[in-house]
Chains A and B, each alone.
Chain A
């Protein structure tokens, strides 16, 4: 492998049902920053069936170039044809960096692709930057410049590690959704579009999709909410979530919850914040009756303002809260909702 042959920042533009996933635009945004630091371009790799029309949207969010791999075999996500698509694109176009979303699709696809092309893959990154490796010069060891430094939490969020991939290309990472910022949309902006099809011949690794069952869900995506009113086991019962829903309604927010609440069957999994749920960073995060286990904190600590209400003054949530109130949520919440209603009505 001649590392010098590998140029440019590529991102996997995940789409589902021919709608771009939020992570696709987040990766284009981050990829653009990295490309700027390297003096190169960001290329979005769009894989699916009949997806070409999405190239314009990727361009408007900052993609300089879009490679479209369009084939009927790619209509619904399956590991093998998608892995073949990405591995072929990498072998053909030789990017120095390749980013994939750490979604259910990306965390299945990324390892398969990295293993096929023999490079490193860093999982679930929360920070990416261009820098030197080793970070500080070490006598007798060459310090490499313009390396991708990939930072990620490990050990259940207790430690944080920065990883490099100095000797293999592309440098690959899966990136946690909701962490990177998409760039502002520039209407009418165009990208260079390249069609590429490596050919898809089913083999033993192709699985057959017998059925696709979509969960019918009318709940708002908690990752898009500006205000989240999140409840934990301390809320006491599913019925008592009414108090949180009322507060959320007054503020135009959304209700979310901790893992304990999902495990107890009080709320569905798509409302769960935390390491095994979703990562959120709203403007305001209310943590109501949430003790604040490290796995939960990992999913919400980037919120702009964290307000915690808990009757247990030793609850670890107070260690990350900007404003912590030791008190009874059953008394505070109804009064808070009424007061806010009056405040907003008087504006």
Chain B
């Protein structure tokens, strides 16, 4: 064993073990690490937002005499009117501004990225069969997409032709959910392996 003398690695290792202690049961070490995480995360974002957002996008332009930036400052300050009951309704103005912006920007974005592009990728053309096997897979994707959409179509009762197609849709959905679950578990397991590698490598020096 070749223990590291670096105090930062010791801190990281102890915090890792404190979080893992929750696998036994809830305990003061876990609670300490959990509350430390919340505090450090918030402190991190305070500093980050100041340096990367508020200073370049508000403080610097205002200091340079760009007074149009009083508008976002005023809108931002309106958030705090929710603590003053008499003028509390003013908080709706920045919220309305942001929600309107988000809704307006999302309509063409969803159309372009999630509707047209996905439909473009689903459509089967003669070119899809340049490689016959790829052509068969393209047809499977087309059938899967159509059947999945039919399963989520609730405006008409699933009888007649809709019944078997919706049934096929749920089969595709279940395979998709299972695959996504497996993939997510694998991502978490790789994080777990990363933490164990950290404990055995940089901290204990047992592995390279």
Please indicate whether A and B come from the same complex rather than being unrelated chains: no
